[in-house]
């Protein structure tokens, strides 16, 4: 049985955009116990639209909670950590944009103050979680032993940016959008949002296997996942995705070249968001990085296969192999 999630209070939290979250908080979930040396913590930053409970399935099929202390941390905007739905944050229209450097700073505080850990054994992330793992490794190379970045890149590509903008437009084109929020639930906007998201998140071969109406499939299998969120939170996380760039607009290869962590990048063969070629380019710039490919018709969702054993086994093999490798930091102690 999954334990309940918790919140760590951060106080007044300054963001890179210049705004301050009063009484900020970060949500987290712990699975497994910390060892006496405090050397077995695996940090799992959350993906787009994911609450920390949504990623608890990783404990067992992919990551071993009997050996590792798995800490799943919610990014700002996900509804568990500080988000527009709590009333303490606004959207980009009023100057609020969360950057992954803000999420990483909050996670560092969480690990230091709750677990007395400064250097996780591994940062494991899928999609937007992978973006945060990259950010950690570039921004704080001395504190990161290993990263496993699954179906995510170090900078949001122009094509990926179009996807995010189309989702944002789907919500803000709804008649209930008032310029900085919503006067009522944007039902039509959410339906359009779900159609766009589904068309990218799974592959063309996957949709050929769907029986019956595609519209009904999206209505039943996809729309409920987004309806559970405040639409302002969906927009806030999109803005973080759009702003993602570990080089801050500078030389990406140089930024990735500063990574000293043991690095595994995992591409999904049919991923339309983050195609294998994009991860291969990142791998070329990271010293010693290993690039893996999961061959699956699940598309982007192959990186988060909560209901598919074949992909789970591939991820378990990759992470176990990575965790067995000594790291440069450990070797120098």
Q: How far is CA 280 from CA 98, 154, 231, 261, 284, in A?
A: 27, 11, 34, 17, 6
Alpha carbons 239 and 261: distance in angstroms, whole number: 28
Buried b (16+ CB within 10 A) or exposed e, 4-43: ebeebebeebebeeebebeebbbbbbbbbebeeeeebbbb
Say which of 102, 174, 245, 271 is annotated catalytic.
271
Alpha carbons 75 and 86: distance in angstroms, whole number: 14
Alpha carbons 151 and 164: distance in angstroms, whole number: 16
CA angle 107, 111, 116 (to 5 degrees): 160
Find, among 81, 79, 90, 71, the residue nearest to 33 by Cα. Answer: 71
Treating both helix axes as pointing N-terminal to C-terminal, what angle do 231-243 and 187-201 enclose, rounded to 10 degrees? Answer: 40
Using CA atoms of 173, 175, 177, 179 in order, give the dihedral in degrees to the nearest 10: 80
- Based on the residue annotation, tell me whether 271 is a catalytic residue of this protein: yes
Tokens of 71: 């800490």
Treating both helix axes as pointing N-terminal to C-terminal, what angle do 128-139 and 231-243 enclose, rounded to 10 degrees? Answer: 40
Alpha carbons 78 and 247: distance in angstroms, whole number: 24
Say which of 127, 174, 245, 292 is annotated catalytic.
127
- Based on the residue annotation, tell me whether 127 is a catalytic residue of this protein: yes
Q: Which residues are catalytic?
A: 127, 271, 300
């Amino acid at each position: 049985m999954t334990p309940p999630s918790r919140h760590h209070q951060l106080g007044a939290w300054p963001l890179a955009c210049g705004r301050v979250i009063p009484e900020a908080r970060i949500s987290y979930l712990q699975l497994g116990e910390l060892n006496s040396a405090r050397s077995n913590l695996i940090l799992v930053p959350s993906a787009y639209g994911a609450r920390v409970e949504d990623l608890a399935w990783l404990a067992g099929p992919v990551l071993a909670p009997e050996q590792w202390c798995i800490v799943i941390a919610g990014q700002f905007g996900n509804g568990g950590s500080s988000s527009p739905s709590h009333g303490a944050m606004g959207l980009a229209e009023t100057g609020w944009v969360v950057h992954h450097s803000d999420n990483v700073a909050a996670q560092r505080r969480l690990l230091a103050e709750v677990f007395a850990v400064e250097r996780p054994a591994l940062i494991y992330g899928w999609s937007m979680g992978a973006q945060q793992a990259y950010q950690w490794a570039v921004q704080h190379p001395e504190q990161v032993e290993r990263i496993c970045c699954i179906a995510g890149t170090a900078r949001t590509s122009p094509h990926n940016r179009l996807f995010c903008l189309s989702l944002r437009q789907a919500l803000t084109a709804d008649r209930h959008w008032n310029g900085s929020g919503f006067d009522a639930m944007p039902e039509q906007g959410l339906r359009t949002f779900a159609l766009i998201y589904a068309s990218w998140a799974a592959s063309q071969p996957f949709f050929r296997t769907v029986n019956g109406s595609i519209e009904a499939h999206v209505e039943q299998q996809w729309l409920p996942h987004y309806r559970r969120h405040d639409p302002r939170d969906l927009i806030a996380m999109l803005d973080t995705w759009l702003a993602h760039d570990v080089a801050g607009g500078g030389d990406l290869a140089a930024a990735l070249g500063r990574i000293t962590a043991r690095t595994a990048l995992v591409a999904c063969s049919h991923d339309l968001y983050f195609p294998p070629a994009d991860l291969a380019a990142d791998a070329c710039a990271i010293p010693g990085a290993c690039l893996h490919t999961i061959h699956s018709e699940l598309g982007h969702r192959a990186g988060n296969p909560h209901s598919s054993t074949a992909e789970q086994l591939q991820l378990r093999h990759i992470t176990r192999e990575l965790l067995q490798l000594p790291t440069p930091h450990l070797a120098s102690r």
